[in-house]
Amino acid sequence: MLQIRYFEEQVDQLYIRGEVHGTGHLYIGMEAVAVGAISALEKNDIITSTHRGHGHCIAKGADLKLMMAELLGKATGYSKGRGGSMHIADVSSGNLGANGIVGGGIPIATGAALAVKKMKTNQIVLCFFGDGATNQGVFHESINMASIWSLPIIYIIENNRYGMGFPVEKAVNIDKLSKRSAAYGIEGFTIDGNDVIEVYKTSAKLIKKIRDDSIPVILECDTYRWKGHSKMDAERYRTKEEVASWKKKCPIKKYKDYLLGEGILKPEEIEKIEKDVQAEITSATQFAKESPFPDPEEAIRDVYAQID
Amino acid sequence: MREIYYLDAIREALTQKMETDERIFLIGEDVGLYGGAFGLTLGMLEKFGKDRIMDTPISEQGIVGIAIGAALMGLRPVVEIMFSDFLMLALEQIANQAAKIYYMFGGKASVPLVIRTPGGGGTGAAAQHSQSLEAILNHIPGIKVIMPSTPYDAKGLFISAISDPNPVIFIEHKLLYKKVKGEVPENIYSIPLGKADIKREGKDITVVATSLMVHKVLKVAENLLSKGIDIEVIDPRTIKPLDLETILNSIKKTGRVVLVEEACYTGGFTSFLASEIQARIFDWLDSPITRITGLDCPIPYSPVLENAVIPSEERIEKGILEIFK
């Protein structure tokens, strides 16, 4: 969680200083969802991510250096500078990619679940998306097919209260998005997405069940993004008080308090972890900054995969 | 050699590849017991079972997206979209996902995916079941677009499509399915993508045509021979990648060119081709480049109206004769 938090804070600083060319969407405040759920996976399990995807990518074990280099548009980045923030994938670690289209990853994740079922690899797919994506037609199409074919997948709704600036209360007429599971004859749960232990425990329980039975499930995690939707957001749709109230429910502070309260870690141990992670981010940033930009001639390469 | 229908050639290609490669599966609406809307997949469910001939709900965007996910995991899905018009429902996944994944991910993941779909009009199915939408697809970098006109080409190109590591849209023509028979080898063979075929050699004028239009042009060519006009007919077969070289060489030989396509006039595939021809071999042209295309309107229902919209042999013949006036 700290890796994600510090990475995003660093990215925010780089945006503010104009050192990042494009836009990006920060995961600050939502760290417990990606970390809790992905921690419950085996290494070879699969995820798909979203436009707000740095958190999932880091939680799945991505290399911070290659991520930061991609954000700075460098040749050493995950996508050689072609993808940027919204298109980082790390297929070798089971991350089938972020996605710039809201809901775009839902059928892709479903197809991955179909593939693992066909290949009998006993892998699980976690499909992350926001509350906004639940109103895309492809949400319905995909989950319906996952249900009729009993695919091993958890659809994780990161309900951060807003689809860009449109409040979830205005976007849907139900109190819990997980209730939509009823339409597909599958189970749906809503949990506190800022409590990493709850997310982990629920995910682990569901994953075990899915590995045994191969079924799809919807898991809604209530959470909140602290920063604006993207680089350009005047945040006219919410109050400072609302943001402040959610900051009090910081997932990292909650977990830190738990670790200290239970005597699992001492304050100085936590301090050391914080320092180490900060150093990791600094070195990733340095790597990215020192990396070369791609050759302009690279722009037209890799449009098509070559026949072996 | 034995002769089979266009539809049977495609079924044979798919069947033979499925027999040799377990990663291949077909997914689409009513492709199983029903055999597909045109009967192309009849009997395949019995042969391969429901896990490899997968019937789906009516969810085009979802189906294409699911195929992309399966392709990313190492399988080789073949999607059937019942009518090419319905590709528009799946365009998000085709244009924003499948076409771009290899590029966006820095070449670290490819999407080997074939989308088969019948296109074109002439069946009285009207505006939402008759379109020729290849220009829309052709415009998107990252996908390949194939439009076979003969059973031989259909089988060989399908084999190549299914072996290609990229998303390929394979546009069949409904009027060719059970109307056009031709010699097709029984074994597996492939025709490389991006290689045009000279369907008829001639010396006076080059006519480039795609899909069903190839057959109309070939008939016109026979008619015009008696009037002393010897037409060279070129079928690009794949419009992306496009074999410009064969087309340009032919025009250099004949000095004249007519481009024929069923799709609408504005922004049609041949408008791009015309631009390439004039830019590259302007000095070789003895007359302006002529385009004969569908009219700029939706495909109407009444046969009288439909015939007026889609290029007919008469219209093609007239267009060619104009040049020699």
Contacts of B104 in chain A (CB under 8 A): 79, 82-83, 87, 89, 97
C-alpha span between B240 and B146 (Å, rounded): 7
* Residue B93 touches chain A, beta carbons under 8 Å: yes
C-alpha span between B160 and B140 (Å, rounded): 20
* Residue A109 touches chain B, beta carbons under 8 Å: yes
Q: Using CB atoms and an 8 Å cut-off, which of residues 166-225 of chain B contact chain A?
A: 166
User: Which residues on neighbouring strands pair with residue B200, listed in sequence order?
Assistant: B233
Q: Is residue A11 part of a domain?
A: yes
Give me the mean pLDDT over the B204-222 stretch.
98
Tell me the per-residue pLDDT of A26-48, one tens digit each, with 9 for 90 and over. 999 999 999 999 999 999 999 99
If one counts every other C-beta atom within 10 angstroms of the C-beta of residue A187, the result is 15
B215 is catalytic: no
Q: Is residue A119 part of a domain?
A: yes
Whether the CB-CB separation of A237 and A167 falls below 8 Å is answered with yes
- Given this model, what pLDDT does residue B320 score? 97
pLDDT band per the 50, 70, 90 thresholds, residue B253: very high
- Given this model, what pLDDT does residue B250 score? 98
Instruction: Please give the share of chain B, as a percent, with pLDDT higher than 90.
Output: 100
Instruction: Please give the share of chain B, as a percent, with pLDDT higher than 70.
Output: 100
Contacts of B94 in chain A (CB under 8 A): none
Domain CATH for A81: 3.40.50.970
- Given this model, what pLDDT does residue A20 score? 87
Tell me the per-residue pLDDT of A279-296, one tens digit each, with 9 for 90 and over. 999 999 999 999 999 999
Question: Least CB-CB distance to A111: which of B69, B105, B164?
Answer: B69
Q: Phi and psi at residue A47, in whole multiples of 5°?
A: -135, 155
pLDDT band per the 50, 70, 90 thresholds, residue A22: confident
Q: Which domain range does residue A157 map to?
A: 2-293
Give me the mean pLDDT over the B132-143 stretch.
98
Nearest chain B Cα distance for residue A103, angstroms: 10
C-alpha span between B56 and A147 (Å, rounded): 12
Q: Is residue A159 part of a domain?
A: yes
Mean pLDDT of chain A: 96
Instruction: Give the residue carrying structure tokens 């180490």.
Output: A276
Kindly tell me the burial class for residue A112, based on how many C-beta atoms sit within 10 Å of its own C-beta (0-12, 13-18, 19 or more). buried
Tell me the per-residue pLDDT of A234-268, one tens digit each, with 9 for 90 and over. 899 999 999 999 999 999 999 999 999 999 999 99
Contacts of B71 in chain A (CB under 8 A): 111
Instruction: Please give the share of chain A, as a percent, with pLDDT higher than 90.
Output: 92
In this predicted model, which residue has the larger pLDDT, A232 or B185? B185
Query: Token pair for residue A282?
Result: 């600094």
Give me the mean pLDDT over the A108-115 stretch.
98
Q: Is residue A40 part of a domain?
A: yes
Does residue A306 register a pLDDT over 80? yes
pLDDT band per the 50, 70, 90 thresholds, residue B162: very high
- Given this model, what pLDDT does residue B172 score? 98
User: Across the interface, do A106 and B71 touch by the CB < 8 Å criterion?
Assistant: no
Whether the CB-CB separation of B45 and B15 falls below 8 Å is answered with no
Give me the mean pLDDT over the B140-148 stretch.
98
* Residue B108 touches chain A, beta carbons under 8 Å: yes
C-alpha span between B143 and B197 (Å, rounded): 21
Q: Is residue A307 part of a domain?
A: no
Give the residue from B141, B155, B145 showing the smallest Cα distance to B115: B145
C-alpha span between A15 and A72 (Å, rounded): 10
- Residue A39 makes CB contacts below 8 A (sequence gap 6+) with A59, A200, A203
Tell me the per-residue pLDDT of B259-278, one tens digit each, with 9 for 90 and over. 999 999 999 999 999 999 99
User: Across the interface, do B69 and A303 touch by the CB < 8 Å criterion?
Assistant: no
Q: Which helix (H) or strand (E) holds A130?
A: strand A125-130
Mean pLDDT of chain B: 97
- Per-residue exposure over A266-281, b if at least 16 CB sit within 10 Å of its own CB, e if not: eeeeeeeeeeebeebb
Whether the CB-CB separation of B234 and B246 falls below 8 Å is answered with yes
Give me the mean pLDDT over the B170-182 stretch.
97
C-alpha span between B43 and B54 (Å, rounded): 13
Whether the CB-CB separation of B68 and A108 falls below 8 Å is answered with yes
User: Across the interface, do A142 and B65 touch by the CB < 8 Å criterion?
Assistant: yes
Give me the mean pLDDT over the B192-221 stretch.
98
**Mutation site for B-interface testing, chosen from A99, A139, A145 by largest number of B Cβ within 10 Å:** A145
pLDDT band per the 50, 70, 90 thresholds, residue A156: very high
Instruction: Give the residue carrying structure tokens 């436009």.
Output: A51
User: Which residues on neighbouring strands pair with residue A127, listed in sequence order?
Assistant: A48, A155
Query: Token pair for residue A59?
Result: 């939680």
Q: Which helix (H) or strand (E) holds B303?
A: helix B303-309
Q: Using CB atoms and an 8 Å cut-off, which of residues 65-84 of chain B contact chain A?
A: 65-75, 77
Total structural domains within chain A:
1
Whether the CB-CB separation of A152 and A181 falls below 8 Å is answered with no
* Residue A300 touches chain B, beta carbons under 8 Å: no
Model pTM greater than 0.90?
yes
- Given this model, what pLDDT does residue B27 score? 98
User: Across the interface, do A112 and B70 touch by the CB < 8 Å criterion?
Assistant: yes
Amino acid found at B205 = I
Nearest chain A Cα distance for residue B126, angstroms: 26
Contacts of A112 in chain B (CB under 8 A): 69-70, 72-73
User: Which residues on neighbouring strands pair with residue A187, listed in sequence order?
Assistant: A217
Q: Is residue A304 part of a domain?
A: no
User: Which residues on neighbouring strands pair with residue B78, listed in sequence order?
Assistant: B26, B114
**Mutation site for B-interface testing, chosen from A304, A306, A307, A308 by largest number of B Cβ within 10 Å:** A304
Does residue A307 register a pLDDT over 90? no
Tell me the per-residue pLDDT of B95-120, one tens digit each, with 9 for 90 and over. 999 999 999 999 999 999 999 999 99
- Given this model, what pLDDT does residue B2 score? 97
Contacts of B57 in chain A (CB under 8 A): 141, 144-145, 148
Q: Is residue A300 part of a domain?
A: no
Instruction: Give the residue carrying structure tokens 């429910």.
Output: A249
Give the residue from B166, B114, B170 showing the smallest Cα distance to B146: B170
Q: Using CB atoms and an 8 Å cut-off, which of residues 47-86 of chain A contact chain B?
A: 48, 77-80, 82-83
Tell me the per-residue pLDDT of A68-100, one tens digit each, with 9 for 90 and over. 999 999 999 999 999 998 999 998 899 999 999
- Given this model, what pLDDT does residue A233 score? 86
Q: Which residue stretches of A90-247 are H helix?
A: 105-119, 137-148, 168-171, 196-213, 240-247
- Given this model, what pLDDT does residue A232 score? 80
Structural domains of chain B, ranges and CATH numbers in brackets: 3-183 (3.40.50.970), 197-323 (3.40.50.920)
Does residue B148 register a pLDDT over 90? yes
Q: Is residue A126 part of a domain?
A: yes
- Counting one residue from chain A and one from chain B, the pairs whose CB atoms sit within 8 A come to 151
Question: Least CB-CB distance to A307: which of B71, B103, B165?
Answer: B165
Does residue A308 register a pLDDT over 80? no
> What order do you get walking across the sheet with B53-55 strand by strand?
B53-55, B24-28, B76-80, B113-119, B167-173, B144-146, B238-240
Instruction: Give the residue carrying structure tokens 């194939």.
Output: B146
